[in-house]
Amino acid sequence: MSFPSPVRLSSSRARYWAGGSLLLLLVGLGPGCSASDAPSGSGGSVNASGGSGGTVGDGGGSGGLAASGGTTSGGASAGGASGTGGDGAGGAAPGGGGDGSGGAPSGDGGAPGGAGGSTGSGYPHGVRPTTISDDHLAAAWSRWKENWVETCPGGAARVIWDQPENTVSEGIGYGMLGAVGNDDRELFDGFWKYYQQNVNERGVMHWKRGGCEGTKPDDNSDNGASDAELDVAMALIQAECKWKDAKYGTDADALISRIFEHETVVEGGLRLLKPGDAFGGADCQNASYFAPAYYRLFAERPAQAARKNDWLKLASDSYVLLERFAHPTTGFVPNWSDANGNTSTSGPSGCNWYTDAHIFGTDAIRTPFRIAVDYLLFGTPEAKTWLNRVTDFVDSQDITKVGRKFNLDGTPYGEIDHSIISVGAFANAAMASTQDVADRFALEAVTVDDHKYFPDSLRVLYFLVLTGRFTPCAE
């Protein structure tokens, strides 16, 4: 089984696969993180967008590739996990639809283009805040490496999770994006080696592994989490461009094909990203895994020529789903839902083993980061519309006081925890707004000072975006 990014437990959560049935045991909740955040009882079905959302037509794709010749970036993450531990990684679970086929193209992603008109942001679109510098990024990266990296025998390297004896694939993806963005090739190669040493029979990394040895730490640690695969593939594309080494591109192409074959599916006329290779589909979705900018870049890879329209459809269909999930005022989306936006406190029918799946919490909070990359690199109109909805609401609440868990209507959920986890995501979103808003939000992002595996990891990614480094060549 796999348990991708959703279950961030501030608890100890054990899952067992027995005789074809999944038994979920909640073993006490302790301090720390949210899996789909802290439990609040079960509950009836909730529609994330306030309505049940019928079939929506395919949206059109958006325009050309940002920057010259290359690839671009992306964000990522995975969600919860079983066992003890804080915010971080996730896993998947059994079940989920098989690989679908077909799906007519919807819109076109455009051919790679040039710099596309300077906006002073380092990107073809949006604004770059003036209240954050490369020094902030360097300090965040230095702290992250000091606290969350272990070098292993034979040249591999692992990311230390909240359970320090374990590593999650999400962390490897974060680490590879951070390493290429900070020009640390030796560490990048170490993370990629660890990933390759710990893949399953479908060629994707098991979502959780133990130590440098890559042992199986428990029964809930096998199979992939698609957000990790996406981030690793994106990092490999960036590495190919940055370090002018085709071997990274070859590795990226192979992983991209595995993502397509095992972690996407066509259901209900939409091409969907499955949360993992062993579960998910229309009955289980996580909006914070959606990476439309990556899909557009994958579509332009020569090795993906036969799948170009499918990747572009996956990008455009991401916005069909995002609109179904999003609250009409705040734009907030649930941690986990089905393809119509329906969920409950434990999650939708296809993955109902989480806690607080229905809120805009530690999983969903990463969605602005991923959608911001699509706007900054491609100027996708649907991205700007959603980002501005989120930004306008957050600005009305005061960025210096917001927490990191919300009901979809924007009211705080539980105790307010002011954290880079949310502040940084909102700062990325604000890059689609005005200079003033972007500056104020970024200033708060460099001010907030919480440190654990998850906030430190996301801080690096958020700062890469804010400093203009999340580009096709990571520079």
Give the residue among 205, 209, 215, 246 at the shortest CA–CA distance from 70: 246
Predicted pLDDT of residue 304: 98
Alpha-carbon gap, residue 236 to 188, rounded angstroms: 9
**What's the pLDDT at 248?**
98
CB atoms within 10 A of CB 76: 32
Q: Cα–Cα distance between 82 and 3 in angstroms, integer?
A: 8
The predicted-structure confidence for 53-111, as pLDDT tens digits, reads as follows 333 333 333 333 333 333 333 333 333 333 333 444 444 433 333 333 333 333 333 33
Q: What is the pTM of this model?
A: 0.79
Q: According to the model, what pLDDT value does residue 122 have?
A: 79
Where do the domains of the chain lie, and which CATH numbers do they carry? 11-466 (1.50.10.10)
pLDDT, residue 23, reads 31
User: Which phi and psi (to 5°) does residue 158 adopt?
Assistant: -125, 160
pLDDT of residue 121: 58
Report the sign of the C-alpha dihedral through residues 473, 432, 230, 35, in that order: positive
Task: Indicate the helix (H) or strand (E) that contains 252.
Answer: helix 246-263
Give the helix/strand (H/E) hosting 17: strand 11-18
- As a whole number of Å, the end-to-end CA separation of the chain is 37
pLDDT in tens, 332-359: 999 999 999 999 999 999 999 999 999 9
Q: List, as one string, the DSSP characters of 208-248.
A: EEETTTTB--SSS--S--HHHHHHHHHHHHHHHHHHT-HHH
pLDDT in tens, 25-62: 333 333 333 333 333 333 333 333 333 333 333 333 33
Report, as ranges of residue numbers, the positions in the chain whose pLDDT lies below 50. Answer: 1-120
Give 240's contacts (C-beta < 8 A, 6+ positions apart). 71, 246, 247, 248, 249, 252
Instruction: Note the maximum CA span of the chain.
Output: 59
Task: Look at residue 75 and give its three-state secondary structure.
Answer: coil
Residue 87's pLDDT is what? 46
Query: What are the φ/ψ torsions at residue 25 (nearest 5 degrees)?
Result: -115, 125
3-state secondary structure of 193: helix
CA–CA distance, 151 with 153 (Å, rounded to integer): 7
Q: Is the dihedral angle over the CA atoms 169, 171, 172, 177 positive or is it negative?
A: positive
Q: What is the DSSP letter of 157?
A: E
